[in-house]
């Protein structure tokens, strides 16, 4: 399976829609999560805010139409749970790529995104000292 397939399968297993419909690379995925986080923080960053509520706000703030459809489909999930799930699934998908952790982190140019990837990897007991096979 490909990285995108592995990511989508992981998200499906959690009952959440995958944002892979709006990206086709790791760096695009990380940019999507960064933008989603920024939009959520701009809306107040409320832990109880659902994706549907964020999507409703996004319609007024110019979030991409494809992203709004994904957010609306995940409706009742909170933004924080969705973001966390995305990072867990990114790490899960990364482990099958054979890419070094440092190369994977280099895909992200945002410190918050790097921190979230590291937390997700640590939570899963993933060795981040070298390659996915380390």
At 126, is the secondary structure helix, strand, or coil? coil
pLDDT of residue 132: 46
17: nearest Cα among 52, 43, 48 = 52
pLDDT of residue 121: 92
Tokens of 124: 């899963």
Mean pLDDT calculated for residue range 100-105:
85
* Measured CA distances, 99 to 46, 62, 86, 104 (Å): 35, 35, 19, 7
Average pLDDT score over the chain: 80
Mean pLDDT calculated for residue range 98-115:
86
Domain spans of the chain, in order of start: 3-48+81-123
pLDDT of residue 95: 83
Highest mean pLDDT among 29-33, 93-97, 104-108, 115-119: 115-119
Mean pLDDT calculated for residue range 121-134:
72
Q: What is the pLDDT of residues 4-54, one digit of tens each?
A: 888 889 988 988 877 766 677 778 788 888 888 888 888 888 888 887 777
Mean pLDDT calculated for residue range 51-58:
73
pLDDT band at 64 (very low <50, low <70, confident <90, very high): low
Are the beta carbons of 92 and 124 closer than 8 angstroms?
A: yes
pLDDT of residue 107: 81
């Amino acid at each position: 399976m490909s990285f995108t397939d592995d990511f989508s399968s992981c998200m499906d297993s959690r009952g959440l829609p995958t944002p892979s419909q709006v990206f086709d690379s790791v760096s695009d995925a990380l940019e999507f999560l960064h933008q989603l986080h920024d939009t959520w923080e701009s809306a107040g960053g409320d832990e109880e805010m659902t994706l549907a509520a964020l999507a409703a706000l996004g319609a007024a703030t110019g979030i991409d139409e494809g992203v709004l459809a994904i957010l609306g489909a995940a409706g009742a999930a909170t933004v924080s749970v969705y973001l966390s799930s995305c990072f867990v699934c990114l790490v899960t998908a990364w482990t099958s790529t054979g890419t070094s952790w440092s190369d994977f982190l280099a895909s992200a140019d945002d410190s918050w995104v790097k921190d979230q990837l590291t937390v997700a990897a640590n939570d899963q007991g993933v060795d981040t000292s070298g390659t996915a096979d380390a």
